[in-house]
Amino acid sequence: MSKINFSSGLLLFSFLFLVNSSSFSQNTDSVFISKIYKSALTQGNSYEDLRQLCKDVGARLSGSAEADMAVEWGFQKLKSYNFDTVYKQEIKVPHWERGTKESAWLKLQDGKLLKLNILALGGSIGTNGLIKAELLIVNSLEELKKMPKSKVNGKIVLINQRMEDNVIHSFQAYGGCFPIRKSGAVEGARLGAVAVLIRSLSLGENDFPHTGTMQYNDSVGKIAAGAISTNDADKIALLTKNNAKSEIWLEMDCRFYEDKISYNVIGEMWGKNRNEIITFGGHLDSWDAGEGAHDDGAGIAHSIEALRLLKSQNYKPKHTLRCVLFMNEENGNRGGETYATWTKARNEIQIAALESDRGGFSPRGFDIESENAEMIHKFEVLFEQMIPFGLSVFAKGHSGVDVGPLGDEYENITMFGFVPDSQRYFDFHHSANDVFENVNKRELELGCAAIASWLYLIDKYI
């Protein structure tokens, strides 16, 4: 495009504004929200905060030295912004390590070898040295479940199930494939497989394997489980088409160590009603590949910056705004569970919660997790105030894993999930590709502004 006849940017959905707006002061709010956006985009700290977390700390799986560093970084960062209080909340976290040996090869019947791009799934046992077994390819978890034991026994199974790339909302496609990663090893072990590989949960074709949690079932025993890249899964399927007796050679020395002490890190701006809390945050831990930039460094940067932006505007909240940098979302959710139990035990009133854990992409809106029709309608109306700032999606949906346990403890809590554009998320998710360079500064900053503005509207009108 060469010239300037840019869009007016005015939404034509004029009927959106036909609702009763007497209950809030649209103009004051609009002025305040504009200031939040301007501050985020011109004097924002989020991009530099994220750079530090990605580059100075790095990948930070629960129990790792880097996770300890992330706790220290988060604590010092919140301190540096002079919130009303900053503290750490002790939790016990699982401690699994990938180890130093992690290799896999395809060996074709004619002897040719193909080295595979592999990551052990989080929580997998190791192989105790190199194991070699005949390859069995299935195209779905359902296909594997229906196999006779005789066909699976003694083999390494590749579950080559594609994420459905025709699904528009990519998290829905992820949901459809999630059981493969979670239960592949159980279903394989049940039928006597010696190990399981899965096609990475990623849309499109590339060389990055994507890790993530998996589960065992003691009654069927444990076998090693890894993810290979989508390109490798396609290559294997192609090369073994007329090559029945291919093998997989596999070595992994990942294993669990004893649980470790770690922390949620918490910063607060106190409200007039100090015991009434609005909890918001992301998770400080990440998988051990890449830098956890989108998952969930972005959510951490969003949350810290949202609180800082509100403070920078001298906002005096009605409720206590509590920013929680949760530990251990990825493989245990001990941070989220501990936090919910702790706040309940202190007789705090949890009014609302918000989580950012879907990446640092261009903001689209918020999901609301509530069964209270009146409350949903109230926020629907409030959301119209965000439309001039480029948001457009307000949907009934999921909030987040970390804040999830609050919903079990507090019947009346209203919870929100921040919704950025989802198309690129699974290019990066849980892989070595999830690095700072793949986060766009403006997109991250707009997310901070959207979250800060939404917290303001929640606090003022709930």
Which residues, numbered 24-63, are part of the site for its own copies (CB under 8 A)? Answer: 37-38, 41-42
User: For 250, which DSSP code?
Assistant: E
- Cα–Cα nearest to 390, from 351, 441, 335, 446: 446
Supply the minimum distance, in Å, between the C-beta of residue 419 and its own copies.
Answer: 7
Minimum distance of its own copies from residue 254's CB (angstroms): 17
- 393: which 2 tokens? 């999606």
Examine residue 87 and tell whether it contacts its own copies (CB under 8 A).
Answer: no
SS (H, E, C) 103-130: EEEEECCCCCEEECCEEECECCCCCCCC
5 vs 100, beta carbon nearer its own copies:
5
Contact with its own copies (CB under 8 A): which of 81, 114, 133, 175? Answer: 175
- Select from 98-106, 108-116, 255-263, 393-401 the region that touches its own copies (CB under 8 A): 393-401
Amino acid code (one letter) for 88 = K
Q: 34 or 240, CB closer to its own copies?
A: 34
User: Which of the ranges 89-97, 255-263, 300-308, 390-398 carries the binding residues for its own copies, by CB under 8 A?
Assistant: 390-398
Place of tokens 């002079």: 82
Token reading at 217: 């079932």
373 binds its own copies (CB under 8 A): no
> Exactly one of 102, 288, 367, 459 binds its own copies (CB under 8 A); which one?
367
Residue 264, strand partner residues? 89
> Segment near its own copies (CB under 8 A), from 79-87, 108-116, 218-226, 441-449?
441-449
Active-site option among 329, 330, 369, 384: 329
Residues found in the chain:
462
Q: Which is nearer to its own copies, 251 or 357 (CB)?
A: 357
Least CB distance to its own copies at residue 322 (A): 21
- Name residues contacting its own copies, limited to 225-284 (CB under 8 A): none
Measured from the CB of residue 361, what is the shortest distance to its own copies in angstroms?
8
From the CB of 21, what's the least distance to its own copies, in Å?
14
- Distance, CA of 307 to CA of 312 (rounded, Å): 9
Please tell me the distance from the alpha carbon of residue 449 to that of residue 25, in angstroms, as a whole number.
19
Q: Is 146 in the site for its own copies (CB under 8 A)?
A: no
204-223 binders of its own copies (CB under 8 A): 204, 212-213
Query: Does residue 385 belong to the site contacting its own copies (CB under 8 A)?
Result: no
Q: Which is nearer to its own copies, 75 or 208 (CB)?
A: 208
Closest CA to 158 of 203, 130, 195, 117: 195
- Residue from 268, 296, 337, 459 binding its own copies (CB under 8 A): 296
Which two tokens mark 26? 């649209």
Cβ(241)–Cβ(135) below 8 Å: no
**Shortest CB 275 distance to its own copies, Å:** 29
Q: How far is the CB of 17 from its own copies (least distance, A)?
A: 11
Count of other CB atoms within 10 angstroms of residue 337: 18
134 flagged as catalytic:
no
Contact window for its own copies (CB under 8 A) among 4-12, 64-72, 223-231, 236-244? 4-12
- x/- binding map, residues 347-366, to its own copies, per CB under 8 A? ----------xx---x-x--
Quick one: which of 361, 360, 457 has its CA closest to 414? Answer: 457
Contact between 170 and its own copies by CB under 8 A: the answer reads yes
DSSP string, 353-387: EEE--S-SS-EEEEEEE---HHHHHHHHHHHGGGG
Q: Least Å distance between CB 357 and its own copies?
A: 4
Answer whether 291's CB lies under 8 Å from 297's CB: yes
Pick from 259, 376, 460, 462 the residue near its own copies by CB under 8 A: 376
DSSP string, 76-98: HHHHHTT-SEEEEEEEEEEEEE-
Residue 429 contacts its own copies per CB under 8 A: yes
Identity of the residue numbered 368: I
Among 268, 330, 337, 459, binds its own copies (CB under 8 A): 330
DSSP 8-state symbol, 155: P
Residue 419's closest CA among 376, 363, 379, 369? 363
Q: Choose which of 348, 390, 460, 462 interacts with its own copies (CB under 8 A).
A: 390
Rounded Cα distance between 323 and 260, Å, is: 23
d(CA 209, CA 211): 7
How many of the chain's residues bind its own copies (CB under 8 A)? Answer: 73
Helix (H, G, I), strand (E, B) or coil at 323: strand
Residue nearer to its own copies on the CB measure, 156 or 309: 309
Q: Which residues are catalytic?
A: 329
